[in-house]
Amino acid sequence: MKPELPDAFLCSLAAAVGEQHVLLADDERAPYEMDWTRRFQGRAAAVVRPADTRALSDVLRLCFEAGVAVVPQGGNTGLVGGSVPRGGEVVVSLRRLSHVDVDPVEERAVVGAGTTLQQLQEAAAGHGLTFAVDMASRGSATLGGMVATNAGGVHVVRYGPMRSQVLGFEAVLADGTVITRMTGLAKESAGYDLGGLLCGSEGTLAVVSRVLVRLVPVPRYAAVALLGLGSLAAAVEVVTTLRRELPSLLAAEVFFDDGLALVREHAGLPRPFDRPHPVYLLVEAADEADPAGELATVLAKAPGVGDSAFATDSRERTRLWAYRERHTEAVNAAGVPHKLDVSVPLAAAAAFEVELRALLAKEAAGARLVLFGHLAEANFHVNLLGLPRDDERIDRGVLELVAAFEGSISSEHGVGVAKTRYLQLSRTEGELQAMRAIKAALDPGGILNPGVIFTATPE
Ligand code: 2HG
Ligand code: ZN
């Protein structure tokens, strides 16, 4: 299909990034046009792949001058449709901005936006260090995308989300201006925290090109426990105790028996215990001294634990983690899911689960719920299979329930295009106005990822 962009503009893009990195043919663009869940898809006018900050700046300046909208894209495994075109934009793939420079003395790294989490982890491991944010999509998720979505992952209970790791940044504004703050000073109060603002901005305020991130020492010892419990309320009680009494706590993840069955079927894994349990909690502790003993001691005191399995060596720990980590791929293999990523106050988690199941039983009897998530933050991934692709009545019902619990409609995946209509459930009118003012100031032409976070026109 012939692209709609004028030839002169395409020639300028080619001059900026190299002709072979301006993709126009249908089959070349296709991998950049559909998201990983297959739920979100749109046609790009072109895909461009700058190799460095300078080329990225040229691309944005050209698009700004021509009034052409831009969709920044990293690994394209975000789950809210924020990195694929809605129709007619230029997709700017950041994947070629891939480099890691570890500073082992300061325990930091300068990382290109297109670097995958796994590449960063491997580079850091060479120095006995690691990156504090970890998640199952490590092989595809890029650092730029993780900043853009303020990704959380499985270690937030110990280290916080992306926002807590970013010490400095370089980003390109809508008109091509490059702004840089890479000093990483431990104390800095001279004006606004622009790097913090970019965390969670989803490519709507600027395009991140490099980040300076903190690294942490790899804990010498780790221990994992998988627990089978009778209810979510019991799991919440265990997590509350762990948070209070186990300083080495690194992760506390929850899943349910039907999700476990789906994962086992998909991945061919054996039963973790002889008998099933309604709820499973996967706990990891890590420290400079072996935390296995204290983990077992704290868990022995916890009420409501039916069965438990412990692992200390790396292979066994990975084996237990697979039951939790493989949920996303198992869900995707079973259909095109509606995915909601919500959080509620931990004290309300069990009541939320009861009401969620009641809502679905009443309004969506044919749908299949696969629920799992990060229990220490009461961050639940509500995956729904069997719903019509564009029918959002159930999504709205779930998000309204979350709002009634004073929770968040997006805990760690971002708003993307999937949740723009529900943003006012989590944000006040005053907050939304302030956000729109920031957006208008930094992106006056509205070319940066339009339709993401905010609906194209205010509702
Ligand atoms: C996870 O926690 C990711 O594994 C993906 O955030 C969640 O697939 C999901 O809904
Ligand atoms: Zn998650």
Q: Tell me the β-bridge partners of 448.
A: 70
203: left (phi over 0), alpha (psi -120 to 50) or beta: left
Distance of CA 197 to the CA centre of its chain: 16
Q: From the CA of 134, how far away is ligand 2's center (Å)? A: 10
Burial class (CB in 10 A: 0-12, 13-18, 19+), 270: exposed
Q: Give 382-432 pLDDT, tens digit per residue.
A: 999 999 988 999 999 999 999 999 999 999 999 999 999 999 999 999 999
How far is 448 from 443, CA to CA, in rounded Å?
A: 7
Alpha carbon distance 285, 242 (integer Å) = 10
Closest atom, ligand 1, to C-alpha of 412: 6
Ligand 2 center from residue 259 Cα (angstroms):
15
Q: In the predicted model, what is the mean pLDDT of residues 74-92?
A: 97
Q: Is residue 252 part of a domain?
A: yes
Q: Which of 168, 185, 217 is the last residue of a domain?
A: 217
Ligand lying closest to the C-alpha of residue 136: 1
- Which stretch of DSSP H or E encloses residue 16? helix 7-17
Tell me what pLDDT residue 61 has: 98
Shortest-distance atom of ligand 1 to CA 328:
8
| pTM, full prediction | 0.96
Minimal CA–CA distance to 13: which of 52, 47, 53? 47
**Spacing, Cα 381 to ligand 1 middle (Å):** 6
Q: Which residue, judged by its Cα, is nearest atom 5 of ligand 1?
A: 328
Report which protein residue has its CA nearest ligand 1's atom 8. 328
Confidence of residue 457 (pLDDT cuts 50, 70, 90): low
The stretch 15-26 carries a mean pLDDT of: 98
Residues ≥6 apart with Cβ < 8 Å to 429: none
How confident is the model over 122-155, as pLDDT tens digits?
Answer: 999 999 999 999 999 999 999 999 999 999 999 9
Look at residues 293, 328, 363 and tell me which one is the last residue of a structural domain. 328
Residues 149 and 213 both lie in one domain: yes
CA atoms within 13 A on the CB side of 227: 28
Please indicate, yes or no, whether residues 316 and 360 belong to a single structural domain of this protein. no
458: in domain: no
Please identify, by atom number, the ligand 1 atom nearest to the C-alpha of residue 413. Answer: 6
Q: What CATH number corresponds to the domain at position 30? A: 3.30.43.10
CA of 117 to the centre of ligand 2 (A): 15
Round the average pLDDT of the chain to a whole number and report it: 96
What is the predicted pLDDT for the residue at 185?
92
Distance (angstroms) between ligand 2 centre and the Cα of 176 equals 33
Residues framing ligand 1 (Cβ under 6 A): 79, 135-136, 328, 339, 381, 383
Question: Does 310 score more than 50 pLDDT?
Answer: yes
What pLDDT is attached to residue 3?
A: 53
**Ligand 2 center to residue 410 CA distance, Å?**
11
Distance CA 321, CA 329 (A): 14
pLDDT, position 459: 47
Closest-CA residue, ligand 1 atom 10, reads: 381
Number of domains into which the chain is organized: 4
Report how far residue 356's alpha carbon sits from residue 235's, in angstroms, rounded to the nearest whole number: 17
Q: Is the predicted pLDDT of residue 458 greater than 60, yes or no?
A: no
Whether 458 contacts 451, CB under 8 Å: no
Print the domain residue range for 136.
Answer: 100-217
